[in-house]
Amino acid sequence: MRKIIHIDCDCFYASVEMRDRPELRNVPLGVGGRPEQRGVIATCNYPARKFGVHSAMPTVTAFKRCPDLVLVPPDFERYRAASRAVHAIFRDYTALIEPLSLDEAYLDVSDATRCHGSATLIAQEIRARIEAEVGITASAGIASNKLIAKIASDWHKPDGQFVVRPEEIDAFIAPLPVKKLWGVGKVTAARLNAAGAETCADLQQWPQERLVREYGKMGLSLYRQCRGIDHRAVEPNQVRKSLSVENTYPNDLVGLPECVAALPALWDDFSRRFARCDTLPHKAFVKIKFNDFTQTTMECVHSAPTPALFEQLLASAWQRKSRPVRLLGIGVRFDEGHAPVPAASLPLWDDADAMR
């Protein structure tokens, strides 16, 4: 029986800003890009969330909902420094740490000896140390598998924790909306809801054959997840298969020139992350989602991607439909036999729900 803790720092980027600038603690605060530059909110503090501001929201919309929002640009060097301090605390308790982002990780404490081996007490102690030593707060979920631990870490946010014991998993998972399951985004959730599966209890009524028939491999995952089953181990040396950045634009990019003009911002973000990789990629690719929600990807074998290469791929991909674009992404794929082992990755958003 595993003992797994999912630790998630609360509104991480905003918390670091509030730690370093105490005058921001009680005002609505957003971290992100300027509205005149089609910026988006990377994260915001809880006072801002009361106005309906959230991660991945266009900054112009955030100001409409909260005119008094204080907006600050992201400072990733300070966020990385805070992340290193948090992960140093994790290592005092276990070597089995799987980073998900700068501010989030799974810890397997099954064999830990600190705090009498109690996962609940270890989580409490880690959270207390993060607050005392790093100056920010964190929440935790404790369970016997990764799926339940991650969901549980949202239960008592901010600055709280929640335990789901093995015998409590059935009662915990049954009433959850299906959108809480891993890999279920808005489109899949809407499709499941339309078919009568609002909750995990509803989905448990579907036979495995139906789920696999309608959703392929994802169907098998859904069959297990809606029952709270997750056999995945915490993987400290998880291999990255790809590295990419993308952006959904509040206003569609009309024509290829507008798409090309959006590339430099993507390149800046991509190149910063790519610099931390310790091996060469195998392929480079550009991803486009058009305004009719169709999607295409253009890729080529290349070990040294450049802005010019991505521009060429973009031009080829755009020609496939030649219509307005709502999402652009660029990235690389690694040879699975020689992929890098990443340190904690840097997401565009620091809130997990924004990644759905």
Please give the positions annotated as active site.
104
Place of tokens 């605060």: 29
Q: Which ranges constitute the DSSP H helices of the chain?
A: 12-20, 46-49, 59-65, 76-91, 119-129, 146-152, 169-173, 186-194, 200-203, 208-215, 217-225, 256-274, 307-318
- The amino acid at residue 325 is V
**8 assigned to a ligand binding site:** yes
DSSP string, 303-333: SS--HHHHHHHHHHHHTTT-S-EEEEEEEEE
For residue 201, give every residue at least 6 positions away whose Cβ sits within 8 Å of its Cβ, in sequence order, or none: 174, 175
- Give the pairing type, strands 242-253 and 325-333: antiparallel
Sign of CA dihedral 297, 298, 299, 305: negative
How far apart CA 71 and CA 75 sit, in angstroms, is 12
> Distance between CA 32 and CA 15 in Å, rounded?
14
What is the amino acid identity at position 117?
Answer: G
Annotated binding site: 8, 103
Annotated binding site for Mg(2+): 8, 103
